[in-house]
Amino acid sequence: MRLHLCVVGRLRAGPERDLICDYLARFDKTGRALGLGPVVLHEVEDRKGGGMASEADLLAKVIPEGSRLVCLDERGKLLSSPEFARQIAQWRDNGQQETALVIGGADGIAATLRDRADLALSFGPMVWPHMLARVMLAEQLYRAASILAGSPYHRA
């Protein structure tokens, strides 16, 4: 199952990009044997300043047709890392070919896109900068693959 990380904003060189690249490389290496990956990064920018609605339109254009849609949203469902891993495995085992994980801009994801999601996922009631949310999601993808592989990385 291919994963698409669809995000608003372009991440410049720096520690956040380094962390994301490291975790996604780890995910690809671990996930390959599990039928997971690769992760494709799609960064969009609203250069016209149209706000959430414009960002949602740009995101919708990069989400592959037929993808399972997961939106990160503070109002979303809280999952433990093992629950997240089981969800990914279930989608894969049910024949899902593509899953798109969406992180909106500073104001979040427009309801028009968020309401289409198969899963709204939250990292908790705190609001996180969307650049850090990318790092956290990349780490959780790697952690999910590690859990599914039986790796000692996750010590619950």
Task: Supply the range of the domain harboring residue 52.
Answer: 2-149
Dihedral sign, Cα of residue 129, residue 134, residue 135, residue 139: positive
CA distance 91 to 79: 15
How far is Cα of residue 138 from the mean position of the Cα atoms in its chain?
Answer: 7
Mean pLDDT on 19-25: 97
Assign residue 72 the CATH number of its domain.
3.40.1280.10
Query: What's this model's pTM, rounded to 2 decimal places?
Result: 0.94
Alpha helices in the chain (DSSP H): 15-32, 51-62, 81-93, 111-114, 130-149
Mean pLDDT (the chain, rounded): 94
- Report the pLDDT averaged over residues 93-110: 95
The number of folded domains in the chain is: 1
Asked if residue 154 is part of any domain, the answer here is no
Q: Is residue 106 part of a domain?
A: yes
Q: 132 near 85, Cβ under 8 Å? A: no
Euclidean distance between CA atoms 85 and 123, whole angstroms:
15
* pLDDT (0 to 100) of residue 156: 65
* Domain annotation covers residue 156: no
Would residue 15 count as lying in a domain? yes
Query: What local confidence, expressed as pLDDT, does residue 65 receive?
Result: 95
In a domain, 79, yes or no: yes
Residue 155 lies in a domain: no
Say if strands 68-78 and 39-44 run parallel, antiparallel, or are unpaired: unpaired
